[in-house]
């Protein structure tokens, strides 16, 4: 039985709870749940269904208020950190992770902030403590991007990565091309459908893709890159005419993130029709340039609570089976 502390009870955190309630591949006792304003703790294991209901009815998960204090005092084996991404110092998520590592707990996270802004500090602390930090849910949701680098291509020299890492942008560009609609029109559609946030800046300005590129770079090249190291251009200036002209030349326009040891970039790019990066809708795709394996491409749905929860459960299972 693995004891889990779950921090973050938004869509992803609740998706993880649903996965545990539905039967995870390993036996899980969630002993701590925290949202942005409250904490519930039970060393014998919380009733997740009751925690979910209280969140729905009252907007809180418990009676406690001090997440860091609860993480310091509780006994758990793994912290599942699914709180909202913040930039700058990446707090409070960075502090939650460091507290868990101080307690000798592994960390499984979908939070891009600490991984993109303070990766080196986090990994140095984890190495000193002899614990793992796993992050599949932070890059590409259910698509095995990090694990492809760390495991499938572990014996290979991966020189670069390029991919479509934001389903919202891909949906918008696909609809604009198919229907000849303006960016503003399709953005409204995406917001109505729940594909885009009410404030879509993080996605459409390329920031989300840039953070994922930083994380991939840090994992691949053991670096200390941050968001400041990425040249970023989003999709807000893409027009139906530019998409039409691209198609007439046998291309589509996609927001592509590119990672190499020398540079990181995110921008709308011309992609030949039928190319591996020519995927539609909310799909994500990532291609790795490997010395021995050649080009390795993985495709799937990168966003959504269930997809990200799947990645969290996968990482949790890997930690337990490795321990």
Structure tokens at 25: 């591949």
**Residue 171 assigned to a binding site:** no
Distance CA 66, CA 219 (A): 32
User: Cα separation of 58 and 209, whole Å?
Assistant: 34
Q: Annotated binding residue at 8? A: yes
Q: How many helices (H) and strands (E) does the chain have?
A: 13, 12
**Where do we find the tokens 């560009």?**
173
Only one residue has tokens 């680098």, namely 149
Structure-block tokens of residue 168: 């919202």
Residue 141, CA atoms < 13 Å, CB-side half-sphere? 23
Rg of the chain taking only CA atoms, in angstroms: 20
Q: Which residue in the list 52, 53, 125, 212 is annotated as catalytic?
A: 212
Q: How far is Cα 35 from Cα 33, in angstroms, rounded to an integer?
A: 7
Degrees to nearest 5, angle at CA 303 with 17 and 201: 115
Looking up tokens 């999709």 gives 235
Q: How far is CA 88 from CA 7, 85, 94, 121, 314, in A?
A: 20, 10, 11, 14, 29
Is 141 one of the annotated binding-site residues?
A: no
The candidate with the shortest Cα–Cα distance to 240, out of 172, 169, 189, 166, is: 172
For residues 318 and 134, the answer to whether their CB atoms sit within 8 Å is yes
Whether 17 has a binding-site annotation, put simply, is no
Report whether 13 belongs to an annotated binding site.
Answer: yes
Q: What DSSP element (H or E) covers 260?
A: strand 251-260
Helix axes 207-221 and 119-129, enclosed angle (nearest 10): 40
Residues comprising the chain, all counted:
323
User: 253 near 233, Cβ under 8 Å?
Assistant: no
212 counts as catalytic? yes
197 is in an annotated binding site: yes
Please give the structure tokens belonging to residue 146.
């990090």
Q: List binding-site positions for NADPH.
A: 112
| Catalytic machinery residues | 212
Q: List binding-site positions for NADP(+).
A: 8-13
Q: List binding-site positions.
A: 8-13, 112, 197
Q: List binding-site positions for L-homoserine.
A: 197
């Amino acid at each position: 039985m693995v004891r889990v502390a779950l921090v973050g009870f938004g869509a992803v955190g609740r998706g993880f709870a649903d996965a545990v309630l539905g039967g995870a591949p390993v036996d899980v006792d969630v002993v701590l749940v925290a949202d942005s304003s409250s904490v519930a703790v039970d060393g014998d294991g919380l009733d997740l269904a009751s925690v979910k209901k209280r969140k729905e009815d009252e907007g809180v998960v418990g009676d406690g208020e001090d997440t860091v204090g609860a993480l310091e005092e509780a006994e758990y084996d793994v912290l599942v950190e699914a709180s909202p991404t913040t930039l700058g110092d990446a707090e409070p998520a960075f502090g939650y992770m460091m507290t868990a590592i101080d307690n000798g707990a592994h960390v499984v996270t979908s939070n891009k902030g600490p991984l993109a802004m303070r990766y080196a500090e986090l990994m140095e602390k984890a190495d000193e403590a002899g614990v793992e930090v796993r992050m599949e849910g932070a890059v590409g949701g259910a698509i095995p991007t990090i694990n492809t680098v760390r495991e499938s291509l572990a014996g290979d020299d991966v020189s670069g990565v390029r991919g479509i890492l934001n389903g919202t942008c891909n949906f918008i560009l696909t609809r604009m091309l198919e229907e000849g609609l303006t960016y503003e029109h399709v953005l409204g559609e995406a917001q109505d459908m729940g594909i885009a946030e009410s404030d879509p800046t993080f996605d459409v300005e390329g920031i989300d893709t840039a953070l994922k590129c930083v994380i991939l770079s840090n994992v691949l090249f053991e670096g200390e890159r941050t968001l400041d190291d990425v040249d970023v251009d989003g999709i807000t200036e893409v027009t139906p005419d530019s998409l039409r002209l691209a198609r007439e030349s046998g291309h589509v326009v996609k927001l592509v993130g590119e990672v190499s040891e020398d540079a990181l970039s995110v921008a709308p790019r011309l992609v030949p029709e039928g190319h591996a990066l020519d995927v539609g809708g909310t799909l994500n795709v990532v291609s790795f340039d490997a010395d021995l394996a050649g080009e390795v491409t993985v495709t799937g749905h990168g966003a959504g609570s269930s997809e990200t929860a799947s990645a969290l459960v996968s990482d949790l299972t890997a930690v337990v089976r490795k321990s």
